[in-house]
Chains A and B, each alone.
Chain A
């Protein structure tokens, strides 16, 4: 397993996978145009899930915006991970950011074993 950090980024966003910490961090604003433009990000997420056999955390706290194609990318990822019964996926969001709360709840509907961790933004 490679231990090098992998990243998909642009001026507006970054998706960073740190293998040793088993964490993918998403930052910035994601409003790409359709499935094709989201493919590199989905591939990075799936690669992380392939490498991590037991636990993977997805940190969305610093993600400021997500369009419907982005929602579609995360739902695809969660449905793929659902098939891998040994991998525990956790997703981290801020409890004050309503769209993050809604997204994480929707993802948990698709994958009841998903651990959602809503933390306070301040304090």
Chain B
């Protein structure tokens, strides 16, 4: 097992949460892709309803700013896209995305199975993000991508950190007798 970045192993159990699960191979990617926006909207709406409910219960004045809503929707969509792009299609392990609501922050938690190659590529990207100034790397990636015509932009995690002050962490596990690596991606956002 390997842990990188800001990873919280124990999420408080007394929390509200939503979980979306799917099998990577059940329907074609192009079809499933269309559900990303719906799921991201749903998560963002859920956050709104939950905090309005809290406000009524506790008699507190607290509303979710549009910036937090934008951040939640953006992060949810990016994580769903990544899970769909990189989950090993041959794996029978379902991809699970959970969204936890805590007092002062929200936590996204994605578990999916990836191939060894994908895990290696992800680890290189993570080390690049963790070992550099993310703002400098963000602009450097934009410049580098302008010279290339294909491939993945590699901007998703960096935009979460630079544009939304998100804290990211990862866990890599190698289950016995499995050709796949189980990756857990965690993204924390402050909501106050």
Could you list which residues of chain A lie within 8 angstroms of chain B, going by C-beta atoms? 12, 29, 31, 33-36, 65, 67-69, 71-72, 75-76, 79-80, 96-99, 102, 106, 109-110
Contact = CB atoms under 8 A, between A and B. Distances in A.
Interface in B51-85: 66-67, 70, 73-74, 77-78, 81, 85
Contacts of B150: 35-36
Nearest to B147: A79
Given A75-B146, A79-B143, A98 B159 contact: no
A91 B78 CA distance: 24
A74 to B, nearest CB: 9
Interface size class of B (residues with CB under 8 A): 20 to 34
B37 interface: yes
Contacts of A75: 142, 145-146
A68 B156 contact: yes
A83 to B, nearest CB: 10
Contacts of A97: 66, 70
B70 A99 contact: yes
Given A35-B149, A35-B151, A110-B139, 15 more contacts: A12-B37, A34-B153, A65-B37, A65-B74, A65-B77, A67-B78, A67-B81, A68-B81, A68-B159, A69-B153, A71-B159, A72-B142, A79-B146, A99-B74, A106-B139
Interface on chain A toward B: helix, strand, loop, or mixed SS?
helix
A67 B138 CA distance: 15
Given A69-B153, A72-B155, A33 B145 contact: no
Interface of B: 29-30, 33, 36-37, 66-67, 70, 73-74, 77-78, 81, 85, 138-139, 142-143, 145-146, 149-153, 155-156, 159, 163
B145 A102 contact: no
B151 to A, nearest CB: 7
Nearest to A109: B139
Contacts of B36: 31
5 contacts: A35-B152, A68-B159, A76-B145, A98-B66, A102-B163
Contacts of A96: 66
Contacts of B163: 99, 102, 106
B78 A68 contact: yes
B22 to A, nearest CB: 16
Contact of B143 (A36, A71, A99, A110): A110
Contacts of B77: 31, 65, 67
A27 to B, nearest CB: 15
B123 to A, nearest CB: 19
A77 to B, nearest CB: 9
